[in-house]
């Protein structure tokens, strides 16, 4: 531990990479399967099959609960249109034009991976596509801003700075943040999607973080539905969510939930890329 933050050994990071690949590959399969007429519950069932085949377990199933709210009942969070995060899969049938965010986590040998993607079903609305593109790019800008000796605020400021640099105005959801991840899905430190460079916990070798901007086409205010989980935009504007789990090694950055470790995206942004060697 360093300042209350779990710092991983190289071997532990390699196990998290295995979990991350289960997550990334499952999300890719769900993206292909998410066509008009498919229910969100059917997508969740497919994710369960992928977990079983990989010998992994779910980070999400039976998570949380208490104070009259039941534990989360699924292995995926599937949020549609004005739903920001934590949507519960079920009987909802996807339709052409829906904007879908899928969040998924897996555990391998006690270590977690966590990632989220967003996409449109069928032909995307132009404003939805721009929202998803900006959300995704802001995530990569945040990850690329991390470096040994830096601060969590460097990531936060890079996410916010990119979003605010766009001609279009987007709401940055502030109530939900990225987080540390490792032997638990949610750990210290929080990784907000807004902030100032040079602030927050120190970025050290072996720190693992989930960077996950959530943007809207309207305001940043949210509300939670009566199911106790599903978070929606108060103004009913569309929302988008992208997430990757990343780490910092002595060699550079590595994105544990990206198939290529994030090499293409990070190199394009001029960031120092891994590898995961000791």
Determine contact, residues 212/155, Cβ cutoff 8 Å: no
Using CB atoms within 10 Å of the CB of residue 198, give its burial: 0 to 12 exposed, 13 to 18 middle, 19+ buried: exposed
Q: What is the pTM of this model?
A: 0.97
Would you say residue 42 has pLDDT above 80? yes
Q: Name every residue whose Cβ is closer than 8 Å to that of residue 199 and which is 6 or more positions away in sequence.
A: 151, 152, 153, 156
Determine contact, residues 191/152, Cβ cutoff 8 Å: yes
Would you say residue 277 has pLDDT above 90? no
Q: Name every residue whose Cβ is closer than 8 Å to that of residue 229 and which is 6 or more positions away in sequence.
A: 69, 72, 77, 86, 87, 88
List C-alpha distances in Å: 86 to 74, 158, 159.
10, 25, 21
- pLDDT tens digits, 97-125: 999 999 999 999 999 999 999 999 999 99
Determine the Cα–Cα distance for residues 261 and 254; give it in Å rounded to an integer.
5
Q: Which three-class secondary structure state does DSSP give residue 165?
A: helix
pLDDT at 230: 98
pLDDT at 275: 78
pLDDT tier at 276, thresholds 50, 70, 90: confident
For residue 246, what is the DSSP state? Answer: E
- pLDDT tens digits, 148-207: 999 999 999 999 999 999 999 999 999 999 999 999 999 999 999 999 999 999 999 999
Nearest alpha carbon to residue 171 among 79, 225, 238: 238
Would you say residue 278 has pLDDT above 80? no
Using CB atoms within 10 Å of the CB of residue 109, give its burial: 0 to 12 exposed, 13 to 18 middle, 19+ buried: exposed
Q: Which three-class secondary structure state does DSSP give residue 43?
A: helix
- pLDDT tens digits, 80-90: 999 999 999 99
Q: How many CB atoms lie within 10 A of CB 235?
A: 14
The mean pLDDT of 212-239, rounded to a whole number, is 98
Would you say residue 65 has pLDDT above 90? no
Q: How many CB atoms lie within 10 A of CB 101?
A: 25
The CA angle 224-228-230, to the nearest 5 degrees, is: 50
Integer-rounded Cα Rg, in Å, for the chain is: 17
Would you say residue 2 has pLDDT above 80? no
pLDDT at 172: 98
Using CB atoms within 10 Å of the CB of residue 30, give its burial: 0 to 12 exposed, 13 to 18 middle, 19+ buried: buried
The mean pLDDT of 119-139, rounded to a whole number, is 98
The mean pLDDT of 16-37, rounded to a whole number, is 98
Q: In degrees rounded to 5, what are phi and psi of residue 231? A: -105, 130
Determine the Cα–Cα distance for residues 180 and 21; give it in Å rounded to an integer.
18
pLDDT at 197: 97
Chain mean pLDDT for the chain: 96
């Amino acid at each position: 531990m360093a300042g209350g933050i779990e710092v991983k050994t190289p071997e532990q990071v390699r196990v998290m990479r295995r979990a991350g690949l289960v997550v990334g590959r499952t999300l890719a399969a769900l993206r292909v399967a998410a066509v008009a007429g498919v229910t969100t519950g059917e997508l969740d069932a497919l994710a369960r099959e992928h977990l079983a085949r990989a010998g992994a377990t779910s980070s999400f199933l039976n998570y949380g609960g208490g104070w009259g709210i039941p534990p989360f009942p699924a292995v995926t969070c599937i949020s549609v249109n004005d739903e920001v995060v934590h949507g519960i899969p079920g009987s909802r049938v996807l339709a052409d034009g829906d904007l879908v965010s899928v969040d998924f986590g897996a555990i391998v040998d006690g270590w977690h991976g966590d990632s989220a993607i967003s996409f449109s079903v069928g032909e995307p609305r132009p404003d939805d596509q721009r929202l998803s593109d900006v959300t995704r790019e802001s995530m990569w800008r945040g990850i690329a801003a991390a470096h040994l000796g830096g601060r969590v605020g460097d990531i936060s400021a890079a996410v916010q700075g990119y979003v605010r640099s766009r001609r279009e105005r987007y709401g940055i959801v502030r109530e939900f943040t990225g987080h540390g991840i490792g032997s638990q899905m949610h750990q210290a430190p929080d990784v907000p999607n807004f902030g100032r460079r040079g602030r927050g916990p120190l970025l050290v070798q072996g720190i693992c973080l989930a960077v996950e901007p959530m943007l809207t086409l309207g305001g940043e205010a949210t509300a939670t539905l009566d199911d106790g989980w599903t978070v929606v935009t108060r103004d009913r504007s569309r929302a988008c969510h992208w997430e990757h789990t990343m780490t910092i090694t002595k060699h550079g950055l590595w994105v544990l939930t990206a198939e290529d470790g994030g090499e293409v995206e990070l190199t394009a942004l001029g960031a120092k890329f891994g590898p995961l060697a000791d």
